[in-house]
Each structure stands twice: as C-alpha cells, then as structure tokens.
Amino acid sequence: MRQILQLQARLVTSPPPSEPVDPNLVAVKLICAAAARSNPRHAALIFSALPAPNLVVWNCLLRALVLHHLHPIALHHFRRLLAAGSPLPDEFTFTSIVKACAGLLARSDGEMVHALVLRRGFCNNLFINNSLVDMYFKFGRPNGARRLFDEMSERDVVSWNTLVSGYFSCGNIDMARKLFDLMPERSMVSWSIMIAGYARLRDLDAAREIFDQATERNVGCWNAMISGYVQNERFSEAIALFRRMLHLQAVQPNEVSLVSVLSACAHLGALDLGRWIDRYIERKAMGLSLFLGNALSDMYAKCGCIAEARAVFDRMTDRDVISWSIIITASAMHGHAEEAISAFHRMLDSGVKPNGITFMGILSACTHAGLVDAGLHYFDMMTEEFEIIPQVEHYGCVVDLLSRAGRLDKAEDMINSMKVAPNVIVWGALLGGCRIYKDVCRGERVVRSILELDPGHSGSYVYLSNIYARMGRLEEAAKFRLMMRENRVVKTPGCSWIEVDNMVHEFLMGDRTHPQSEKIYTRISALSSRMKLAGYVPNTSVVSQNIDEEEKENALAMHSEKLAVAFGLISSKDGTTIRVVKNLRVCDDCHEAMKVISKIVSREIVLRDRSRFHHFKEGQCSCNDYW
C-alpha cells in the first residue's frame, strides 16, 4: 500500500509530460489496487477527487465497497449515481448493488433496484438474475427467488448453485437435494455447496455421503467437509480427513484448510500436528496472513505453549482485535495475569479498540489470579469508557471472581442487579464459591435457582448430595441421588485427550476400550503405591456414590485424566512433557494427584481443563491451588 501511495503522489505532483493522462483510467487502476490491499476507504477517497467519473470508475468503486462488505456506503454512492442522471447504470452496476442490498437485508431498496433492472431492459441478464435470486433468498423469500429462477431465459451452473444454496439457507434440505439431483451439470462448487449445506444443518452423514460421491474434488470440497466436522465438534474426524487429503497428494491444502485443522488441533490439544502445520506454512512460503496467524497462535495457546503463541503473534505483520484477544486470553488461561494486563494496555496504546471477547480475557485473568479490585475496575472500564454492554458471560466472570475470593454477598448482589437474566453458568459460579467456603444455606438457595432454569442440571444434585453426605444428613443425600435417577439426570462424563506419536487418544472414566488398557491400569496401580508413599491421600469426598472407601479410591484411580497421564507415561520417553486436555473442571483429588505424580516421575504435566491450564512440575501447580 505504501508503494501505491508513492505512485499516486508521483502522478499528482509530476504527471508524465509526453501526453495527458486519462484521470479515469488512472483512478480505476488505483481503486482496484487499493481494494485488493483491503483499503476500500482510500479507494473511495480517490474516487472523490475525480471531477467527472465515468461509469467504469463508478462500477469499480461499487465493486470494491461491496467486496469489503461496506454495503451502506455502496448504496449511498449508487443513490448519488442515480441522482446525477448520467452515466446510466449498466449490468456491472446492478450486479454489485444487488449484492449490497442482499448484504444489508434492505428489502425495499432491493425491490427498487429490481424494478430499475426491468426498466433498463436487463431482465434477461444472467449475472444480474443470479444475484437477484440470491438476494431474494437472503430476504427470506424463497418463493420469489424460485419464481425468478423459473422465469430466467438462460441459466448456468451458478444459477443452479445459487438456488441449491438458497434452499439450504432456508433449512429446506429436501428441495435442495431434489434440485441438486436435477442439475444438468455440476461444478466442484456444486459438490462443495451440498457438503457445506448438510454440515451446517448438522447432517454429517449426508455430507460425507455427498463427499464420497463427488466425481471430482477440489480443495473447496475437502475444506467443506473438514470444516463441517470442526463446526460440529467432531475434531478427530476432521484431522483424519485432513491426513487423508495429504496422503492422496491430489489436492494441496490452502489457508482455509489449515485454519480449520488448526481449530481442531486446538480443541484436542494435538500439538504435534499443529507444529507440523506451522512448519508447512514456512516450507511453502505461504506467509502468515491475519487469519492464519490468529489460528496458529490460538492453537499454540490452547495446547499449552504460551511462548510459541506469543512468538507467532510477534511474527504477524498485521494484528486485529482478535489477535490481541487471543494473547490476552491465553495469558489468562495460563494464570499469567500480569502479562494479560500488560498486553491489554499495549493493545490500547497501538490504537486497537477492545471488544467483548477482549474484556472476557482480561476479566478471566483477574479471576484466576484473585485480583478482585482490578477485575471490578476493568468491568467498569468496559461499560463506562468503551460503552460495551455486558453480556451474561461478563457477569458470570465477575461473579466467579467475587465468589472465588469469598465475597459471596457482593456476588449474589451482582446477580440480583444484572441487566440481563442470569443463566445457569452465572448461578453456577456462585455455587462454586458456596462449595469452596462451605456456605450451605446460600448453596441450597442457589441450587433452587439453578433447578428452576435447568431441572436437569446434574452439578446441583451432586453438590447437595455431597454436602449432605459430609454433614451426616445421609437421608437427604440419598434423596437427591434418587431424584437424579427418577428425573434421568446424567452427569456429563469426564473425557480426556492426549496426543502421542501424532495420534490423539481419547479416554473416558473407567475406560477399558483402549488397546493398551492392561498396561495403563498396571501403571496406575504402580503409581498409586508410590503416590501413597509420597504422602498422597485419596480425596474420596469428591465421589458422590454411596459405596465403601476402597471402592471410592478405585473410582478415583479411573478418572479420565489419570488414564491419559498413565498412557502418556508408558508411551513417551523419560523427561517428555505430558499434555492432556479435559472437557470438565479437574476435581480436587486429580489436581492433588497430578502434583504428586509430577514429582515422583520427574515429568512436567500440562493439563487443560474447562477453564484454565495447570502446569504441574516438581510437586507444584502453576495455579497455586487457586482455581
């Protein structure tokens, strides 16, 4: 962009002396160049300097604005064109402005433009009609879109693709499939639309069927299927399909492929594959674009490699609010509150305006470090200085912050004064404080509020059952366990993942389906003996079942993260860091056990649970037991 500005300055200050330069021709080149470098506002500034722009320049500007989703500005310039009376809009003008109306969901403007199309005699123009069909679908008028399609004198594969995609967007899967089967010809885009449509509507079996039926597949088809798996949280299948894509070598992954797979790696903690993608980007000289850089930084952060995440951030030439939010949130998840706060203020100094996600990161950092006053300060800053309306997630974070610090009265007052209705997560944050500080009366009150919102909330039943059992109120404890059974309330099963030799292995509590289960349980048994010699005492209070102490100890030994760690120990070399991802909050017993295991085996264990990272090393945890 800097070179473009230099060229523009040269043209203005020292135009070529040989012959006069057509300003419209120069403007078209500059507008296209500025738009291609994501600077449409400079393109509009160039346009504004022209005394008499011709239609080519008008069309170039409208296309640049629509390409960058500046639809209101495009519509404003289109009205100026009409008011001027000359030049008259042509097919390129209408194609752009129909897209702007569709993007704005501006129904009256869209109908007005359609009327102008008819009046100007473009009713049989294929490109305009394709855009109009798409526009009417976006307006939620499938019948109007279909009527226009049926009246078209000429159709191409784009016309059919637009219709199929439109019916998917309306949720009419049957009609989309019927039209797909009727298509006289199909492009690879057609197959991609079908795969993405089924995936978006969570019918992955149908999406995979279409993918397997595709007569030819380009990178778009592969991306649609991989992305579909990721969007539906079937991360292992996304990674398996990506590996198959690499193995076939018929299609090379592009930026979209890598962003999707990096997201899957981040969720599963598949660090080895994520690192391979990092090297692949460098080897192919792809360049670290904004989207790819953000995805790579996020993957490292969620795999427990905060230093690598920051290194990627430092390598990026462009950074947006998402880039900064990733680093702030990553620092928070690792318990590095000072680094998160420092990054937040560096972001402000760089001129990037924070959004709601940024403040979630900074509030989370304060929560994990127990910085109550700082957290309340940033919450006030969000609402007063940046005028961001707090969402229920922000309130939940502040309630969690207050509850962990034992300020339960203030936490409950905040819930009662919220400007949005509190949800289960907000009440659950207060319930966590009640559990920590053994405030039974308040806990009973909070549970009633939770069960009013979600009668199937398993955590509430388990909380009260455990509390009553500890207090010796065994009949009431049994009553709540019975209520769980009668109401068919099922606890979310604990699930942990570990990557070994580029393969992600999944473990559930008590899992015996793994091919090396016998070795895993043998290692757990040996570990248990050594742990007890090191002073570890199983915390059987976290087991809610009414069973004897020995059975409770056995149940604790089979928690999913312990199985994953045991597998990591038997499958990797001494000294290798073990990285585990868990879908739930780590329980008190497993947290204590991980500290002891890290000491007796002289290994660092990095455990990512639902809310943060725990780095266990030499018998200590990075959270300082505050989580």
Residue 51 clears pLDDT 90, i.e. is over it = no
Give the sign of the dihedral formed by CA 453, CA 456, CA 458, CA 463: positive
- Dihedral (C-alpha) 217, 219, 221, 227: value to the nearest 10 degrees? 150
Q: What is the predicted pLDDT for the residue at 555?
A: 87
What are the CA-CA distances from residue 239 to residues 196, 261, 262, 284 (Å)? 17, 6, 9, 20
What are the CA-CA distances from residue 97 to residues 42, 46, 67, 144, 353 (Å)? 20, 20, 11, 19, 30
Q: How many percent of the chain have pLDDT more than 70?
A: 98
Residue 548 clears pLDDT 80, i.e. is over it = no
Helix 588-600 vs helix 549-557: angle between axes, to the nearest 10 degrees?
70
* Residue 483 confidence class, pLDDT cut points 50, 70, 90: confident
Q: What is the predicted pLDDT for the residue at 19?
A: 67
pLDDT average, residue stretch 330-356: 94
Q: What is the predicted pLDDT for the residue at 261?
A: 97
**Beta-bridge partner residues of 608:** 581, 613
Which range in 160-164, 554-558, 608-612 is most confidently predicted, on average pLDDT? 160-164
Burial string for 521-560 (b: 16+ CB within 10 Å, else e) reads bebbeebbeebeeeebebbbebbbeeeeeeebbebbbbbb
- Residue 257 class from Cβ within 10 Å (0-12 exposed, 13-18 middle, 19+ buried)? buried
Place of tokens 């670290």: 288
Cα distance between residue 158 and residue 35, in whole Å: 25
Pairing mode of beta strands 605-608, 578-582: parallel
Residues across the chain: 627
pLDDT average, residue stretch 466-494: 78
Residue 163 clears pLDDT 90, i.e. is over it = yes
Q: What is the predicted pLDDT for the residue at 545?
A: 64
Q: What is the predicted pLDDT for the residue at 578?
A: 95
Cα distance between residue 292 and residue 298, in whole Å: 10
Q: What is the predicted pLDDT for the residue at 16?
A: 73
Instruction: Answer for the pair 462, 527: CB distance below 8 angstroms, yes or no.
Output: no
pLDDT average, residue stretch 547-564: 86
Residue 46 clears pLDDT 70, i.e. is over it = yes
Give the model confidence (pLDDT) of 379-434 as tens digits.
999 999 999 999 999 999 999 999 999 999 999 999 999 989 999 889 989 988 98
Instruction: Answer for the pair 332, 362: CB distance below 8 angstroms, yes or no.
Output: yes
Across the chain, mean pLDDT equals 91
Q: What is the predicted pLDDT for the residue at 544?
A: 60
* Residue 96 confidence class, pLDDT cut points 50, 70, 90: very high
Identify the three-state secondary structure at position 596: helix
- Dihedral (C-alpha) 410, 416, 419, 423: value to the nearest 10 degrees? 100
Q: What share of the chain is helix, strand, coil (3-state, %, to 5)?
A: 65, 5, 30
Cα distance between residue 204 and residue 198, in whole Å: 6
Measured from the Cβ of residue 59, the count of other Cβ atoms closer than 10 Å reads: 24
Cα distance between residue 446 and residue 444, in whole Å: 5
Instruction: Answer for the pair 286, 295: CB distance below 8 angstroms, yes or no.
Output: no
Cα distance between residue 33 and residue 28, in whole Å: 9
Helices (H) and strands (E) in the chain — how many of each?
33, 6
Residue 444 clears pLDDT 90, i.e. is over it = no
Residue 348 clears pLDDT 90, i.e. is over it = yes
* Residue 295 confidence class, pLDDT cut points 50, 70, 90: very high
Q: What is the predicted pLDDT for the residue at 18?
A: 66
Cα distance between residue 123 and residue 129, in whole Å: 7
HSE (side-chain half, CA atoms, 13 Å) at 341: 15
What are the CA-CA distances from residue 313 to residues 120, 300, 309, 418, 541 (Å)? 52, 11, 6, 36, 43
Q: How far is CA 268 from the centre of its chain?
A: 13
Instruction: Return the HEC string of 91-134.
Output: HHHHHHHHHHHHHHCCHHHHHHHHHHHHHCCCCCCHHHHHHHHH
* Residue 249 confidence class, pLDDT cut points 50, 70, 90: confident
pLDDT average, residue stretch 27-31: 87
Give the end-to-end CA distance of the chain in Å, rounded to a whole number.
47
Cα distance between residue 453 and residue 460, in whole Å: 12
Q: How far is CA 75 from the centre of its chain?
A: 32
Nearest in space to 504 (alpha carbons), one of 320, 315, 272: 272
Query: What DSSP letter does each residue of 293-321 carry, written as one string?
Result: HHHHHHHHHHTT-HHHHHHHHHH-S---H
Identify the structural domains of the chain with CATH numbers, from first to last: 337-389 (no CATH), 392-491 (1.25.40.10), 495-621 (no CATH)
Is the bond into 87 cis (omega within 30 degrees of 0)?
Answer: yes
**C-beta pairs of 25-32 under 8 Å, 24+ apart in sequence:** 27/53, 27/57, 27/60, 28/56, 28/57, 28/60, 30/4, 31/57, 31/60, 31/61, 31/64, 32/60, 32/64
Q: What is the predicted pLDDT for the residue at 27?
A: 86
